[in-house]
Amino acid sequence: MPLISDSIIKQVRENNDIVDVIGSYLPLVQKGKNYFCVCPFHDDHTPSMSVSREKQIFRCFVCGATGNAITFVRDYEKVSFQEAVDILAKKAGLNVNIQLKREDNTPYKEEYEIFNVVTMLYKNNLNSQKGAKAREYLEKRNLTKEVLDYFDIGLSLSTGVCKNLSTKYEKEKLINLGLAREDLSDLFTNRIMFTIKIIMVTQ
């Protein structure tokens, strides 16, 4: 099964203006060529996020969150990349058939949830100030921002992720998922993280 084809992604992006997409979630104020809103990815009180219609990207000047219409929907709605493509395809009335992996009906719903939370955390790390060195390295390896976004590449730091997660999830789960050691310390610290995903798409 192929990944979502580039042509579907292109179609979805061409038919969803980023200003309209973000504007459907958050109030936007126009200043010159760009639009601004309160950033939903950090505790923001002044509009720190700019949205460019010309470039079809958003960028937060405080937390460094950046991306396009698809990755905004993914991160805002906390869904997978495929689900975000599906949401935007439907919004634009496009007739693409994206077969989503149904995570709702599995007995591993919580495991998926944990992986999604950790993936988001790692991605935010990579986009943060602490991720500068890793980003530089990835750039040298010719991994563009789009590729990093598409494959949910992130960065683990030594911030005690599993200890925090253990307030909400069972310790055994975190260990079985290969994220934590017996003492709840993180198995992965200061590493670039590649999320493994199974994506099935039909067109």
Shortest distance in whole angstroms from residue 119 CB to Zn ion: 18
Which contiguous run of DSSP H or E holds residue 181?
none
120 binds Zn ion (CB under 5 A): no
Q: Could you please report the per-residue DSSP string of 5-61?
A: PHHHHHHHHHTS-HHHHHHTTS--EEETTEEEE--TTTT-SS--EEEETTTTEEEET
Please identify, using beta-carbon distances, which residue of 68 and 82 lies nearer to Zn ion.
Answer: 68
3 binds Zn ion (CB under 5 A): no
Q: Could you please report the per-residue DSSP string of 45-101?
A: SS--EEEETTTTEEEETTT--EE-HHHHHHHHHT--HHHHHHHHHHHTT--------
Among 17, 42, 111, 164, binds Zn ion (CB under 5 A): 42
Instruction: Kindly indicate which of the ranges 39-47, 73-81, 116-124, 149-157 contains the residues binding Zn ion, using the contact rule CB under 5 A.
Output: 39-47
Please identify, using beta-carbon distances, which residue of 57 and 199 lies nearer to Zn ion.
Answer: 57
For the CA atoms of 68, 73, 78, 83, the dihedral, rounded to the nearest 10 degrees, stands at -100
Please identify, using beta-carbon distances, which residue of 15 and 128 lies nearer to Zn ion.
Answer: 128
Residues 37/29, Cβ–Cβ less than 8 Å: yes
CA proximity to 103, closest of 118, 115, 88, 120: 115
Among 26, 63, 143, 187, binds Zn ion (CB under 5 A): 63
CB atoms within 10 A of CB 87: 19
Among 21, 60, 126, 153, binds Zn ion (CB under 5 A): 60
Please identify, using beta-carbon distances, which residue of 8 and 49 lies nearer to Zn ion.
Answer: 49
Instruction: Kindly indicate which of the ranges 34-42, 50-58, 110-118, 128-136 contains the residues binding Zn ion, using the contact rule CB under 5 A.
Output: 34-42
Shortest distance in whole angstroms from residue 167 CB to Zn ion: 24
Report the distance separating Cα 45 and Cα 199, nearest Å.
37
101 binds Zn ion (CB under 5 A): no
41 binds Zn ion (CB under 5 A): yes
39 binds Zn ion (CB under 5 A): yes
- The site for Zn ion (CB under 5 A) is made up of 39, 41-42, 60, 62-63, 65
